[in-house]
Structure 1
């Protein structure tokens, strides 16, 4: 009975995240022999296989929205409101294939993303031009994403990384970043912190960024039954943001005790539930 429940819930979550082609992609990514970009023991595989990515993905979207040019590109071209699940599925496929998939499939995924970036250009509401292929703007999106995935894994992952592991994760991500045309991506945790801080003068809470935060946190396109656990994931993502990122997005001020206890505990519970429903029973069984 419990196994059947897990299977049903896992299928629902997987279909939402991976889409109709998810089973086909999963089989090719994980079961086709051939060269991969990353060995089995690389930190990127540890982080990207963990359900803390659900929190990290939300945090990354919130943090990335603080750059007005990045936000203008997302608002004008991504269709994140008209087709939020499609965007999630495309993103999850890219993360999966570049982390776990065949090298040739990863190269193809990068080429598709670079082709899309080359066509995404326009003007922000303040009149400044933007291009999704701009290496500087790409680096901001990359830095915000890597910081988010690493931070939330350290909070909610199964086995937080030591310093060598954290540096290794940033270095693994830098390999993908260079493939995407990003110049001088961070390769250590210290460099990641430095580059994140260097972007702060460019960041602001635009009206579109605040609207995006409200949409992601308060009006997600989810059935009512899924909204309570999603609300916990949202609270966990907000709690993990840097303190300076909250006010520009009109988010509640930091409550250190509440966030360190109630939000952290609730976040761990929901991430643990997601880990349970998305982990095949065979993967939990000890080796014979």
Structure 2
């Protein structure tokens, strides 16, 4: 089974450009929970997943799953510039995740405050980025796609490791202001929640517009545009079947073969790469984040 859709599968919100480029000296107005910062300082297992640049390959799938929720899709469609700056959402999500795992206490406070401030502005008559149910779904996609892709390449976690990683991903969810009681208590509860959500998601025209803005965007650098055909195949095959079809992606024998061969080659070659290469995106985005925080100081 190629999509992330059941317990049998191996298992930031956006920091807008506006928020990352706040004028120097402008105060961040939303307080940060200090107990949360304390908890985020001591992850034990999530490092091994988050450090891998491989996770970027699942970025488009995670975004499409997020916007398959109509409330998320409206927020992104109305408040983002995904056509003009198609990489911004991926960039800001990765900055957020890397900061929560690797950042200093001060950096985590700054980035969480930025996220909260941006979310406070993203609202309309029938949606709000502060809706805890939408925040729960966004955080769920980061866990589901990230751990699924990691295990497809590196192998399954043992039970103890899997539980620790799940608990530590819960901290990422809570740092997005997901109420702790909304985050499923166990992995079994999580996949029950996941399957239920996937059955009720509705891919709207907003979501399809966003998917085209990401996977067919002519504003992307040439090197990225060159691999978009493969990215479309890999992204589509990662999605649950019903969601894939609602986005208008057709699965064929050839596309499924391309997906399996690409995954197989990645499984053989990627772990053999030097760690300095595999972890380059982490260093790149952390440097980007620190540059913006320094500008705001």
Interval of TM-score (by shorter of Structure 1 and Structure 2): 0.7 to 0.9
Corresponding residue for 1:47? 49
Corresponding residue for 1:142? 139
Please list every run of 5 or more consecutive structure 2 residues that lacks an aligned counterpart in the other structure: 1-19, 22-37, 281-297
Question: CA shift at 1:262, angstroms?
Answer: 2.1
Aligned residue among 54, 67, 70 for 1:68: 70
Equivalents in 1 of 2:86, 2:274: separation in Å? Answer: 20
Change (3 A) 1:162 1:53: same
Aligned residue among 167, 171, 174 for 1:178: 174
Question: CA shift at 1:202, angstroms?
Answer: 3.8
Equivalent runs, 1:206-221 vs 2, <5 Å: 206-219=204-217, 221=219
Corresponding residue for 1:119? 121
Q: Which moved more, 1:75-84 or 1:253-262?
A: 253-262
Equivalents in 1 of 2:168, 2:87: separation in Å? Answer: 27
Report if aligned partners of 2:215, 2:231 keep a CA contact under 8 Å in 1.
no
| Offset from partner CA, 1:128-152 (integer Å, 9 cap, x none) | x111001111111111221111111
Report if aligned partners of 1:36, 1:100 keep a CA contact under 8 Å in 2.
no
Corresponding residue for 2:222? 224
Report if aligned partners of 2:69, 2:202 keep a CA contact under 8 Å in 1.
yes
Report if aligned partners of 2:82, 2:89 keep a CA contact under 8 Å in 1.
yes
Q: Which has the higher contact order (CA 8 A, sep 6+)?
A: 2
Q: Secondary structure at the match of 1:145?
A: helix
Equivalents in 2 of 1:232, 1:164: separation in Å? Answer: 35
What's the TM-score, normalizing by structure 2? 0.70
Change (3 A) 1:257 1:109: closer
Change (3 A) 1:200 1:153: same
Corresponding residue for 1:258? 257
Change (3 A) 1:151 1:96: same
Cα RMSD, aligned residues only: 3.1
Question: CA shift at 1:245, angstroms?
Answer: 1.8
Equivalents in 2 of 1:62, 1:274: separation in Å? Answer: 31
Q: Secondary structure at the match of 2:53?
A: coil
1:152 and 2:149 aligned: yes
Corresponding residue for 2:283? none
What's the TM-score, normalizing by structure 1? 0.72
Change (3 A) 1:93 1:260: closer
